[in-house]
Structure formats: structure tokens, C-alpha cells
Amino acid sequence: MELTFPDILFRRLESIANLSAADRRTVACLPLDVRDFPREQDILREGDVPSTSFMVLDGFVYMYKLTGQGSRQIPALYIPGDMPDLHSTQLKVMDAGFRSLTPCKLGFVQHKDIHKVCETSYAITSGFWRMTLIDAAIFREWLTNVGQRAAYSRLAHLICEIFIRMRSVGLTDGMSCPWPFTQEQLADSIGVSKVHINRTLQELRGHGLLQLDGNELRILDWGRLCQEGDFDPLYLHLRDEAIVPRCEEGIVPK
Amino acid sequence: MSRYFFDSQSGGDHVKDDIGIEFSGLSEAKRAAQTALVDMARDQLAAGPLRELAIWVRDEKGKVVLSGSLILHLEEPRNAN
């Protein structure tokens, strides 16, 4: 399913904040420069000073940091509706890079236009602010994930998170959702080697928790996946708790 | 690029790789197997009673081109009080 602006941004903002009809009209009038990116292309590099922020309209994006030795860490993954560099409206120099993970459609908004809509509505300011605060909450959770959980649990946790975030913007189909991540991207996201990711994915499959079919993930046992991943969606701060499936959902009869 | 398959064994848990990973050659696959053993050790040898891990690398024809293992040895000195 492909969504367009402003629907996708409404879905994201309204999953975490309350917008009035007037706020929706204001957001819908944001001038947007829509650009297509092929997969694995730099959107922003560390050190860049952008005058725009972008929102993901279609596709997936990741943030990356490189160590002095050239090892890569992916500290965050972004899905449609997210505004990965919204913080650049306040922090002028990029301290991390952003790349397209899949072919992407991105909408670039001038910082001055974001500042302008924020001046007109406290609810919009609050929604944007909340988006960046939730990004920070996700970083805290990822840090805990990478620092304290075993690979099996880390990967289960990441799968639960992506699924719930996709579901909160209406991009899942039952217990299925797009899963475009390569083993290398997953390895750099949770800090283990490619071979270990490969092994861990096959363990999760072997234990009947999920199925991977090309670029699609299907969760077969949501309750157990959450349990193995030690996953509690509290840190995503979603308004609608019903977004989270019930434990018995997604269990495929044997 | 060639595809290599990494089967592994930890305790009674045998994971057969039917996906594989592409590497430029055997030396790169060998380094990956080494890192994987260390990753597995952190998850599986760090806390539990398990003491040994093993990994086998197969090429596209199914031939085992590398095998590796990691053994954790702990011993108390005999004169310990």
C-alpha cells in the first residue's frame, strides 16, 4: 500500500498526538519537495547543515554512524510517516548520516516552513516535539537492547518494534508486514555479526515464531515473540493501545 | 561473490543454514565464522552450563569447506579450600 502526503504524516502525528481540523489543514499546506531515492543512497551525511527536514512518504530509511575504524552502527530505522532529521530544525549540524534502505519517496520541508506552522499552532509544535522525544525513547530502548539482551532476544525485540510501528500507521496486513532489511543492516542495527543474524533468524523461524517470505514478514505467534524479545511497547508512546495485538493473535493452528 | 552456508551446534541445538550469506571468498567467510563463534559464545557460553560450540561452513555445492569450534574450559585448582 502506498500512502501520500499529507495522509501519511497525519497517521504518524495522530498516532501520538491530537490534531484539530484546523491543525490538519495547516499541516496539509506545508510546501513539500518530493524526491525519489534509489536504495542505499546517502540522503544526509554527518557534518551536513540542511535547511530542510524530510519525511518518509514511502520506503525505509536508516541512520548510521561510523567509528574511526570504519565499523558501522545503525542506531535507528525509519518507516513511512517518520521525520528522521526533524531535530535538524534545532540542531544545525548533522551528527549522523541518513541513507535510503529501500527505494524511497521522501518529502523535504523547509525549516522556515516548519517554524512557521509551529508558530501558528501549539498542537502541531507539540506533535513535532513529541516525534523527536519518541525518537529519543526508541534510542534508550535500543541501547538497552544492544547492551543487555542476547541476540535472539534483541532480534525478536526489533521485529516486534517494527511491526507495531508499521501497524500504528496502517501499513501491516493482519500479522504480516514488509520486511526489506538485509542481514547486514540487521547485524549493524543490533550489533552482532551477519552470520549470527542469519543463525538467529533461522532459530526464530525454526521455533515457529515467524515466517519470512521474500520481503514479507509474517508473525506466527505474537505472544511468544514479545516474550522472547522482552518487548513492551510503552516506549513508543502510542495513543491507541489497541494497536498492539492481543497475545492470542497471530497464532497459526498447528 | 560466492554463497556460504553456516551450520552451527550448541548443546543439543543444531541450526542448519538454508539461507546462506554471500562473501567474496573463503578467507572472508572464515573471518565471519570466527566472529560468529565469538557472538555465539556471548549468548550461549556466558551464563549457562554449556562449554562447547561448533560451526561448519558449506559452499554452494554442499561441501564443508571449514569447521570451527570454541571450548570454554573452567577448572578449580585441586588444593582450593
- pLDDT digit string, tens, across residues A89-141: 999 999 999 999 999 999 999 999 999 999 999 999 999 999 999 999 999 99
Task: At A51, list the grid cell.
Answer: 535547511
Chain A residue with Cα closest to B8: A199
Considering only CB atoms, which chain A residues are within 8 Å of B42? 150-151
> With a cut of 0.95, is the ipTM above it?
no
Query: What tens digit of pLDDT does each residue of B14-27 get?
Result: 999 999 999 999 99
pLDDT digits (tens, 9 = 90+) for A8-65: 999 999 999 999 999 999 999 999 999 999 999 999 999 999 999 999 999 999 999 9
| A182 lies within 8 A of chain B by CB | no
CB contact under 8 Å between B17 and A198, yes or no, is yes
What are the residue ranges in chain B where pLDDT is below 50? Answer: none
pLDDT number for residue A2? 66
Asked whether A58 and A78 are in contact (CB, 8 A), the reply is: no
pTM over 0.90: yes
* A211 at B interface, C-beta within 8 A: no
Residue, of A253 and A121, whose pLDDT is higher: A121
Contacts 24+ apart (CB under 8 A), A235-238: A235/A134, A235/A137, A235/A138, A235/A140, A235/A141, A236/A134, A236/A137, A236/A138, A236/A161, A236/A164, A236/A165, A236/A168, A237/A16, A237/A130, A237/A133, A237/A134, A237/A137, A238/A15, A238/A16, A238/A164, A238/A168
Element (H, E) at B7: strand B2-10
Check residue B12 and give its pLDDT: 80
Query: How many CB contacts within 8 angstroms connect chain A with chain B?
Result: 45
Interface test with A, best of B14, B15, B17 (most A CBs within 10 A): B15
| CA gap A203, A207 in Å, rounded | 6
Instruction: Using an 8 Å CB-CB cutoff, list chain B residues near A206.
Output: 15
Please state, in angstroms and rounded to a whole number, the distance separating the CA atoms of residues B76 and B54.
25
pLDDT of residue B50: 87
